[in-house]
Chains A and B, each alone.
Chain A
Amino acid sequence: MEWLNYVVWAIGILILVWLVIDAFRIETTYDHDLLVSSVEGEIEKEILDHGHPTTPPEGGN
């Protein structure tokens, strides 16, 4: 079963590499200001203004 160690190492490293590559792609494609544009309080404002939150937008999973 020792071979399984190498398989598990390989899968783990592949996942980590995918994460780094995707993050690098995002960093080089999008503006920094956009990526850090999130602010606290948007949701509360909506609840206060409309009484009920809006339908979530598409994107992600």
Chain B
Amino acid sequence: MATEQVAVPSGAAAAPQRLSLLRVLGPMHVWALGVGIVLVGEFMGWNFTVAKGGVFGGLVACWFSGILYSCVAMIDSEVSSTVASAGGQYAQAKHILGPLAAFNIALFIIFEYCMLAAGDSLVVGAIVNSLDATLSPTPFVVLAIAFLAWLNYRGVHTTLTFNFIITAIAFITIFVLIVGAEFWNPGAITQTKELFAQPPGSADPKMPYGWLGILAALQFGIWYYLGIEGTCQTAEECRSAPRALPVGTMSGLITLLVAATMTWYICTSLVNWITLGESVYPLYDAAVNTGKNWLKVVLWIGTVLSCLASANGCINDASRAWFAMGRDQFIPRWFGGVHPRYKTPYRAILFLVPIMIAFGYTGLLDQVITFSIISGCLIYFIMPLNMIRFRRLYPMDSIKRGYVSPFHPLPSYVLWLFVGLTFLAMYFGYWRNLVAALVFYGLCSIWFVLHRFKYVDRAKLYTMPWPRPRGY
């Protein structure tokens, strides 16, 4: 294996060689990728659930999305532990559902993460600008993406080790806020009782718009966990994918469930529900309300680091999906190039950088993030189909799994139900975005079927040594 990966310049006499991505990642890196992408959602975005559904609406959305993503993580862990290939859900769908589904899933992944990276960098620019009005956000947007792209280009191990460090620091800042707010002494700094009480003549902060408000809150509950499914993009770079992916993904999900619940508690205990529902940086605003300046600094650092960790993971994931599509010639084969020294998908990384910068340049944070969420939900809608067909084609005795999803097919049906409800909630608020996204992906599918698929070498499309599927 080692000799296969030593590349030599053209012209030099050498035996046939093959480049491949480096297999250096463990569960820690998978955790860093999953939690790193998502944690930014605790620092901003989730609080719109409170604007729609009140403080209880925020909690219901938190746990509702927690169940949704638990299903995602269970399905993902089982299937990806057997498909240790770059591209994650793309590679899974290619083997289980077919090329068109795989092409669409790859597009969903790429747009989900490119848009999210652009959104993260936009927030970094805005935070810097909030420090000093003479600091323009644009150069900081460009620098953030350029630096993280450079890191990704230079090697996956350093990239995800860096992500582990900054994600862990950002996660700890939430703990620091809870301890700094003296959670053990209600009423001293936290004002849960007062903030949850209904003022005379005003709406009830707990559920101001009733169950309809809670339904509307569901679409923003996605922010708590959006992107955790990206862990399986590293499958080809794990030392032992059947072990690292389930351990990293599940521990990441547990981390996020804890972080989400803590975030909801501390923010609703420190910030009035109306202010919280409109806040850009809810955790930072909660720190401001403690009256402790050092906590403001800590949470400012946490917010910036969470944005960088998210953008870093997004570049990693989007480039793997683009690389995998190139390798299968769903897009030009050129994009399937591997750097001979760093063993990274360098062409895919370079290609996506200007796209991310361009989206970041628009400054349209809400539109960018909405498209990212819609793309993510479309992935979740196809995943149950993937799982059910996977179990049917490859029963338990045919392929050894690194993780077996319990209660199958219940998680698949629950995921369908919950994603359906989320789409319904999204339709009420963003039906134009939803229709535009579906039209866009539909046109891309037509292009793929009528034009691109004839260039795909089908003999090279399926090279994994899986057994013949049942019934074939």
Contact = CB atoms under 8 A, between A and B. Distances in A.
Interface of A: 1-2, 4-5, 8-9, 11-13, 15-16, 18-20, 22-23, 26, 29-32, 34-48, 52-61
A37 B19 contact: yes
Interface of B: 1-2, 5-7, 9-10, 17-24, 82-86, 91, 132, 134-136, 139-140, 142-143, 146-147, 149-150, 153-158, 236, 239-242, 324, 326-328, 333-334, 336-344, 346-347, 350, 353, 460, 463-466
A8 to B, nearest CB: 4
Contacts of A20: 350
Give the secondary structure class of A's interface. helix
Given A8-B139, A15-B147, A15-B150, 18 more contacts: A9-B139, A12-B146, A29-B9, A29-B10, A37-B17, A38-B327, A38-B338, A40-B236, A40-B463, A41-B85, A42-B20, A43-B241, A53-B239, A59-B6, A60-B154, A60-B344, A61-B157, A61-B342
A41 B149 CA distance: 27
Nearest to B334: A36
B338 A43 contact: no
Contacts of B17: 34, 37
Nearest to B132: A1
Given A19-B150, A34-B7, A39-B460, A60 B18 contact: no
13 contacts: A1-B135, A15-B147, A23-B347, A39-B460, A40-B327, A41-B464, A42-B18, A43-B84, A44-B83, A53-B240, A57-B1, A57-B2, A57-B22
A15 B241 contact: no
B2 A39 contact: no
A44 B24 contact: no
A26 B350 contact: no
A44 B338 contact: no
Contact of B239 (A22, A44, A56): A56
B142 A47 contact: no
A30 B442 CA distance: 38
